[in-house]
């Protein structure tokens, strides 16, 4: 059974043990604080919506869907049954997620992305990593640094110095679907940091060519998130 109701209607329903109960069907929904639902949104049975979720018009949520805090869904998104979305996930318009899809925290998917049943962000990252392995044993990326050759520190953490010929590694870095996890961050060859919203366009950062072995690429990308790469070790060529 699907619930088709606006947020004000749902909030007027009887609440029982934290659940809003539909007087017509008996279906149950939990709404977090500051949730916004667009017109013609359909919510499946026992859907849980985290705080500050925004759902665009004509979104369809399957049974048992869980949305983390701060999630934004574009118009026309369709989510299959038992989908789990981590905190701060952003889904573009027209995204289709198959049953059982699991996406990690802060994952961003662009417009018109389609993920099949049972797909996870970890599987997608492995698919991206395998592409680099197929292309060769090592690859050239750009590392943007200050004029003093120091880390720009876009994501916080330790500030490192990237001298020519240095081999720099992060021993605690591990393979995962988290783009901004522990590790060294580089950009695909040809990409500038301002294009990814990492800094202002009028920065004075300089780019260095760095070599990374395929096996040391830990986060290789997700759909629309394949320009900023996380690695375990790199060699400074410039």
Domain boundaries of the chain, sorted by first residue: 2-119, 137-236
Strands 138-145 and 184-188: what pairing? antiparallel
Choices 2.40.110.10, 2.160.10.10, 3.40.50.880, 3.40.50.150: CATH for 2-119: 2.160.10.10
Q: What is the pLDDT of residue 15?
A: 84
- List beta partners, residue 141: 188, 210
Q: What is the pLDDT of residue 122?
A: 86
To the question of pTM greater than 0.75 for the whole model, the response is no
State the Cα–Cα distance between residues 233 and 126, nearest whole angstrom. 18
Q: Taking a C-beta distance cutoff of 8 angstroms, is the pair 75, 58 a contact?
A: yes
State the Cα–Cα distance between residues 75 and 38, nearest whole angstrom. 8
Tell whether the torsion through CA atoms of 118, 119, 121 and 122 is positive or negative: positive
Q: What is the pLDDT of residue 179?
A: 87
Helix runs in 12-107, H state only = none
Q: What is the pLDDT of residue 196?
A: 85
- Enter the tokens of residue 200: 């202002």
State the Cα–Cα distance between residues 140 and 211, nearest whole angstrom. 5
| Tens of each residue's pLDDT in the chain, 238 residues | 345 556 667 778 888 877 778 787 777 776 666 666 666 666 666 666 766 666 766 666 766 666 766 666 766 666 766 677 766 676 766 677 766 676 766 666 666 676 777 777 888 899 999 999 999 999 999 999 999 999 998 877 789 999 999 999 999 999 998 888 899 999 999 999 999 888 888 999 999 999 999 999 999 998 878 999 999 999 999 9
């Amino acid at each position: 059974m699907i619930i088709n109701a606006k947020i004000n209607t749902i909030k007027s329903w009887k609440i029982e043990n934290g659940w809003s109960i539909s007087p017509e069907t008996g279906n149950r929904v939990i709404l977090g604080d500051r949730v916004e639902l667009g017109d013609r949104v359909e919510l499946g049975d026992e859907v849980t919506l985290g705080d500050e979720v925004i759902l665009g018009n004509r979104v369809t949520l399957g049974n048992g869907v869980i949305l983390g805090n701060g999630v934004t869904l574009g118009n026309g998104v369709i989510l299959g049954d038992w989908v789990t979305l981590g905190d701060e996930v952003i889904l573009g318009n027209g995204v289709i997620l198959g049953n059982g899809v699991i996406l990690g925290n802060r994952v961003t998917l662009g417009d018109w992305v389609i993920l099949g049943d049972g797909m996870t962000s970890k599987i997608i990252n492995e698919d991206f990593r395998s592409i680099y392995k197929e292309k060769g044993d090592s690859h050239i990326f750009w590392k943007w640094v200050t004029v003093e050759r120091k880390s720009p520190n876009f994501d916080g953490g330790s500030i490192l110095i990237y001298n020519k010929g240095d081999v720099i590694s992060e021993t605690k870095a591990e393979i995962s679907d988290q783009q901004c996890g522990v590790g060294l961050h580089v950009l695909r060859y040809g990409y500038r940091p301002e294009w990814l919203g990492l800094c202002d366009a009028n920065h004075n950062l300089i780019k260095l060519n760095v070599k990374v072995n395929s096996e040391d690429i830990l986060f290789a990308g997700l759909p629309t998130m394949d320009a900023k790469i996380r690695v375990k070790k790199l060699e400074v060529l410039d």
